[in-house]
Amino acid sequence: MTSIIGIRPMQAEESPLIDPAIARRQRENRLVLTLRILLAVSSLGLWEWGSGRWFSDFWVSSPSHILHALWAMLADGRLMSAVSATVAVAITGFLAGVILGAALGILLGLSPVIARVLDPYLVGMYSLPRVALVPLFVLWLGIGFEMKVAFTALLVFFPIFMNTLSGIRSVDADLIDVIKVMGASRWNTVAKVFIPSALSWVFAGLRISAPFVLISAES
């Protein structure tokens, strides 16, 4: 049915034109996804074909053998037991590191004098290689859940602490003066200004430390 002025109204199934930039991004995303799948399939196929031909399958097993072993471990319960233990260590150590790092970062950020006193020591501890501390953790805590949790918390602690401290220090002094003039208490200043300002830094620290959680939990 046409309108009086001769313009056909838009049907329900018709959609407005898509922005060319959005359409280009969608095509790019589909291309990237397709290339990723092709790369994974070709790599696995080359790996499967080369195992036992180009290199000994004793040193580099084929994907089919790995899948078979994985299924066997899943069937007898060994895989789920190992995964649950690793996840428990990772979550406990991650939460401990985040809480301690954020709390100490806020505390030292609000106490400039204490932060200046402890700054060289904290920087020195941060520069120590973490792997070199594993033998000490083994001597102190033994080989078990506690050692893995402590080591995971240590890896998470420093990125969170350093980023939180930087976030607290980056707060605009004029903003603090304004909120104090408006009658804000010390707690209101911390809750409304310092902590929200440090959140973006904390999330950056989480993104940095997250990849190391499972590595330390499996150590």
Distance of CA 208 to CAs 59, 69, 101, 160, 197, Å?
A: 32, 33, 13, 9, 18
Q: 190 is written with which tokens? A: 């911390």
State the amino acid at position 150 in one-letter form: A
Per the confidence metrics, is the pTM higher than 0.75?
no
Q: Is the CB of residue 179 less than 8 Å from the CB of residue 189?
A: yes
pLDDT 10s per residue in the chain (219 long)?
A: 444 454 455 444 444 566 788 888 888 999 999 999 999 999 999 988 888 788 777 777 888 888 988 898 888 888 888 888 888 888 998 999 999 998 888 888 888 788 788 888 887 887 777 777 878 888 888 888 888 888 888 888 988 888 888 888 877 777 777 777 777 777 777 777 788 878 888 888 888 888 878 777 666
Domains of the chain listed by start with CATH number: 20-75 (no CATH), 78-217 (1.10.3720.10)
pLDDT at 13: 44
Query: Among 98, 206, 73, 81, which residue's Cα sits nearest to residue 149?
Result: 98
**Residue 87 to residue 214: CA distance in whole angstroms:** 8
**Residue 132 to residue 148: CA distance in whole angstroms:** 14
Query: Among 176, 169, 164, which residue's Cα sits nearest to residue 111?
Result: 169
Q: 99 is written with which tokens? A: 């809480």
pLDDT at 11: 46
Instruction: Say which residues have a Cβ less than 8 Å from residue 136's Cβ, sequence separation at least 6.
Output: none
Sequence-ordered alpha helix ranges (H) in the chain: 20-50, 63-75, 78-109, 112-126, 134-141, 145-169, 173-181, 186-189, 195-217
Residue given tokens 């580099």 in the structure block: 60
**Residue 64 to residue 50: CA distance in whole angstroms:** 12
